[in-house]
Structure 1
Amino acid sequence: MDLEELVPGVLLPGFAGPVVPEWLRAELERGLGGVCLFAGNVDAADPDGTAVLAAAIRAVRPSTLVAADEEGGVVTRLEGREGSTLPSPAQLGLVAPDVAERVGVVLAERVRRAGIDLVLAPSADVNDNPDNPVIGARSFGADPHEVATRVAATVRGIRSRRGVAACVKHWPGHGDTDVDSHRGLPTIPAATAARHAEPFEAAIAAGVPAVMTAHIVVPEWGAEPVTVNPDAIARLRAAGFDGVVVTDAVDMAAIAATYGIGGGAARALAAGADLVCLGNPELGGIDAAAQYAEVVDAIVAAVHDGHLAPERLREAHDRVARLAAGTSAARSSAPADVSVEVDPADARAIEIALAAASDPSAVAGLARIVRVVDARGGATQAAATRAVPVADALRGLAGGGNGSATAHGLTAVVADRPSAVQLGVLADAQAAGECIVVNVGAVPGGFDAAVVQLGADSVFSAGIVRAWAAKGGR
């Protein structure tokens, strides 16, 4: 195979809409490695639409990987319009690891039935920075060992469904940052990377076939972000991982602002990455075809000018091809004999754990809400879905939620982290009358108030809110 013909096989682009565009069809015919689906590719009115779309992709190239961010909680593509019905990692961090494994099975079966074979989950980040603007409830918690047990359990659950591969992220750990790599370039010291290593080590030991890099700088490893840093990726290989190294999206500011999307993709491959995620074309009106062409041109140029060694490109291509062939072969023999619903006993265990972590007075106060204030400004922490089901559920309890606190009613302040803006909104609400915080971020959250701990803004969490309010408390 000509070197330039290898380039499509190491790329994971997105595209707009629920049908395969012509440019993507042409690249599939050229050997495209994978396609990443986002919420805009999912037809909410057609439960089978995503599976039909995936089948249309594979009708052109059967061994193409079809990937999606489907973490549960605040990050979902399949349920992006309304919010996830799966528990979040933060919620699973409050219960036994075997619950995480069973939820991993449910997650894997859901994506399998939707035609997805590479699920970009779970997050192995240790969220020990309350000000983290991008991880929060996407993490199983702040204790590396507890996170590790649940990451390994989730990987085992996903691996139990033949034809579905997990991709653990964001190596070497995005949990102790106060910068969102979508918008800037975070930095962590090597000591933090070492402290956060256990969950990734547990995932590798559990057989995870793919690891996603974080766009963060570890100064002791060099000045470049991990994704484009050969010394960093060599450390991942030295840790025993020989699977597919997937980049986080190269359209994120942490990469694109310095290297450009094409330049970042070429540098990532040269550094040791195998599959380059281009990003979400739904954001900012991106021309997905033009973006893809820019990346291809940059990689081809890097091969010709010697910045990307031919053997490195071939190695990356072969790793992706092996993963795709393995999922393709297993997919055809996977029986559809597993539920796609969370076990009621597991859901109840999570509800009990959330109640135990909450202030009883705040839970009881759900029945007296007359006003709802979303301190997040309407955006979720992960920015992966526009749905805000908890806030909507609270407004329903408050009869619209536009009133003011009274002697008999109170304000519910929805928050996901103790940022200056959110704490300011809370202070204003406290000054105006009685209020509670409904925390949809990491638990416990760090709020100086009576708190209802939910651990995600999701349909799953909204159901718990309604149940507690109906009972006048837990």
Structure 2
Amino acid sequence: MKARLVTATVLMATLAITVTPLPVQASAAPVYPPAAEHGWVTSTLRHMSLEQKVGQLFSTYVYGGDAAEPTAADRAANRAAFGVETPAEVIDRFHLGGVIYFSWSHNLDSPRQIATLSNGLQRAALGDGAKGRVPLLISTDQEQGVVLRMPAPAAQFPGAMALGAGRSPQAAYTAAEITGRELRAVGIHQPYAPIADVNINPDNPVIGVRSFGADPALVAELTAAQVAGFEDGAGVTSVAKHFPGHGDTADDSHTGLPVIDHSRAEWERIDAPPFRRAVAAGVDSIMTAHIVVPALDPSGAPATLSPAILTGVLRGELGFRGVIVTDALNMAAVRQKYGDDRVPVLALKAGADQLLMPPDLRLARDAVLRAVATGELTEQRIDESARRILAMKYRQGLAGSPMADVDEAVRTVGAPPHIATVAQVTDPTLTAVRNDAGLLPLTHANRSVLVTGWNSAAFAPIAAVAGGFTARGARATAQPATLPSDAVIAATAAKAADHDLTVVLVNKAWDDVVTDPRGTQRRLVAALVDTGKPVVAVAVRDPYDIAYLPGVTTYLTTYSYTVAAMDALVRALHGELSPSGRLPVTIPTAEGAGTVLYPYGHGLTW
């Protein structure tokens, strides 16, 4: 910890200060001398049974917003998945080392509820305090931007690609620091962030805006900044993902097994730098990718199950000594070739430590125990991973203080200084890509405006943008048209013809395979352009959409649809904010073949 604090101090001293950093609070993890850590880990491990040590290696979801009294529906879901009814019983039965929160498993509501759930799960893990009982490591995917789990009032920062557009390591550090503080306040100590993938493939269906961009140096710099923000600023454990690099694939590892055809030299130049910087910054944990990289392992094994990649490259060549966590084991990429009973065993043999979300927890746990019994795995190998996980928990302060202060959680999550900082970080990320007709900034407010296109029930960006126009004197109409039918497209175009201006939001309009297989967003925009009325198109996710929207002459990208992103958009449209974001990726033409439509670094202002 002390060595990493020096790294963070040096980093912060060299960054251009664009966002005022918050003072370090007492909630950060305490710094213990190495001897104390070693003593606790060794003593704890000595008193654990084999079943308890194996349980420490697993982290999975549980259903319910209360550890002991979930709803009837959540009881049924737990019973079907785990054979017991409550989250507390799941922890106790399987001796789980970790739990991951999701909204779909009903874990995330208010700060008070989340902190109370965390405390209930910790009590279940610790039981009566007998030796061998260990506090949980609670995690969630709080990447920010388009992947965030903590609902409002939690601070909702821009995601990685937006931060890449802003080019500020200080902003990346601050976003991670505040995010980590809010998570820690509710008892979550492991945000699965930052993304260290270099997104050089515009057709990447799974990474995209979750990456800082296409330049390895930029991605490496912002990855290191966020590692420092999470770990030294907030006292939580960061997770750099997805090793050895998921940025150049057109396949989604949730549904298939991607192959990365980079040569070894290309991997060293493109994919490796962010992970090397993360390791140098003292990252506590690195997540594997379910991808095949023949240049690193010609066997065809996905990285998660590859000794050559995890033990040979990550541990041996990069010198990583922390916890290797698998990506979710219920994803198709590792299930297509191997049985669910073999995947956890092969992952441990490859060098992984933390096994995330097996599709059948009982089957996976029993498979590992059976592998030890038959000699395929040794208990010493189990001890190695358990020791790393225990050491990480100790460094987070969980050995001495695993409980969240519920009242402090309510005060911390969404605190006014945090929300103000969200705007400071978000504003410089907005990127104006095209303004051919000089439509922007808008010169008068007394106009009728139709705001339409893609919408989110959780964030309501259409209503937010329309409300911003109304607040400035316009007559604004909000009409969501997410993946509209032909009839809705025709009706929306007819309405646009009766307005002075249309603002249309698009989300991955380029993806006519998965996200928009009928190309409805493209057809909607084309119909709006055909009205002859001015149209402002806004990509609220991937910036690549402009290549698929012929006729659009005014185009901006916000990289996400958070409240702060939509507020920045409205202010920029009205000239109250000068766009300063620069593309962190290259936008090719729709035909591809290496033809550039907008280069890396492009960005307009006014």
What TM-score results when the alignment is normalised by the length of structure 2?
Answer: 0.68
Q: Which moved more, 1:153-162 or 1:166-175?
A: 153-162
| Residue pair 2:101, 2:107 contacting (<8 A) in 1 also | no
How far did 1:372 drift?
Answer: 2.0
* Unaligned stretches of 5+ residues in structure 2: 1-47, 69-84, 127-134, 468-475, 482-491, 530-534, 579-606
Q: 1:66-105, CA deviations, whole angstroms, 9 ceiling, x for partnerless residues?
A: 11111111111112x8997212111111221111111111
- SS of equivalent residue, structure 1 residue 462: helix
How far did 1:136 drift?
Answer: 1.3
Q: What amino acid is aligned across from residue 237 of structure 1 in structure 2?
A: R
Aligned residue in 2 for 1:283: none
Matches of 1:35 and 1:345, distance apart in 2: 30
Matches of 1:125 and 1:387, distance apart in 2: 27
Aligned residue in 2 for 1:32: 96
Aligned residue in 1 for 2:595: none
| Residue pair 1:441, 1:454 contacting (<8 A) in 2 also | yes
Residue 3 (structure 1) aligned with residue 50 (structure 2): yes
Q: Residues 201 and 331 from structure 1, CA distance in 2 versus in 1: closer, same or farther, beyond 3 angstroms?
A: farther
Matches of 2:201 and 2:190, distance apart in 1: 29
Residue 17 (structure 1) aligned with residue 64 (structure 2): yes
- Over the residues paired in the alignment, what is the CA RMSD in angstroms? 3.2
Q: Residues 171 and 152 from structure 1, CA distance in 2 versus in 1: closer, same or farther, beyond 3 angstroms?
A: same
How far did 1:441 drift?
Answer: 2.3
| Residue pair 1:75, 1:84 contacting (<8 A) in 2 also | no
Q: Residues 237 and 362 from structure 1, CA distance in 2 versus in 1: closer, same or farther, beyond 3 angstroms?
A: farther
Q: What amino acid is aligned across from residue 228 of structure 1 in structure 2?
A: L
Q: Residues 331 and 149 from structure 1, CA distance in 2 versus in 1: closer, same or farther, beyond 3 angstroms?
A: farther
| Residue pair 1:124, 1:173 contacting (<8 A) in 2 also | yes
Q: 1:338-396, CA deviations, whole angstroms, 9 ceiling, x for partnerless residues?
A: 8855474773464244144564647759986525233xxx78xxxxxx73543453566
- SS of equivalent residue, structure 2 residue 479: coil
Aligned residue in 2 for 1:428: 523
Q: Which moved more, 1:141-150 or 1:400-409?
A: 400-409
| Residue pair 1:76, 1:83 contacting (<8 A) in 2 also | no
Residue 322 (structure 1) aligned with residue 391 (structure 2): yes
Aligned residue in 2 for 1:205: 280
What TM-score results when the alignment is normalised by the length of structure 1?
Answer: 0.85
| Residue pair 1:168, 1:208 contacting (<8 A) in 2 also | yes
Residue 71 (structure 1) aligned with residue 118 (structure 2): no
Matches of 1:446 and 1:325, distance apart in 2: 48
Q: Residues 471 and 259 from structure 1, CA distance in 2 versus in 1: closer, same or farther, beyond 3 angstroms?
A: same
- SS of equivalent residue, structure 1 residue 398: strand
- SS of equivalent residue, structure 1 residue 262: coil
Residue 451 (structure 1) aligned with residue 527 (structure 2): no
Higher-Rg structure is 2
Matches of 1:320 and 1:138, distance apart in 2: 26
How far did 1:135 drift?
Answer: 1.1
Q: Residues 466 and 242 from structure 1, CA distance in 2 versus in 1: closer, same or farther, beyond 3 angstroms?
A: same
Q: What amino acid is aligned across from residue 120 of structure 2 in structure 1?
A: A
| Residue pair 1:362, 1:452 contacting (<8 A) in 2 also | no
Q: Which structure is richer in relative contact order (CA contacts within 8 A, separation 6 or more)?
A: 1
Q: What amino acid is aligned across from residue 206 of structure 1 in structure 2?
A: A
How far did 1:430 drift?
Answer: 4.3
From 373, 393, 415, the counterpart of 2:507? 415
Total equivalences in the alignment:
454
* Unaligned stretches of 5+ residues in structure 1: 280-287, 380-385
| Residue pair 1:128, 1:175 contacting (<8 A) in 2 also | yes
Q: 1:101-139, CA deviations, whole angstroms, 9 ceiling, x for partnerless residues?
A: 111110111101111011111111111111111111111
Matches of 1:324 and 1:266, distance apart in 2: 23
- SS of equivalent residue, structure 1 residue 320: helix
From 200, 216, 235, the counterpart of 2:291? 216
Q: What amino acid is aligned across from residue 197 of structure 1 in structure 2?
A: A
How far did 1:150 drift?
Answer: 0.6
Identity %: 31
| Residue pair 1:76, 1:84 contacting (<8 A) in 2 also | no
Q: What amino acid is aligned across from residue 90 of structure 1 in structure 2?
A: M
From 420, 424, 430, the counterpart of 1:354? 430
From 220, 228, 237, the counterpart of 2:315? 237
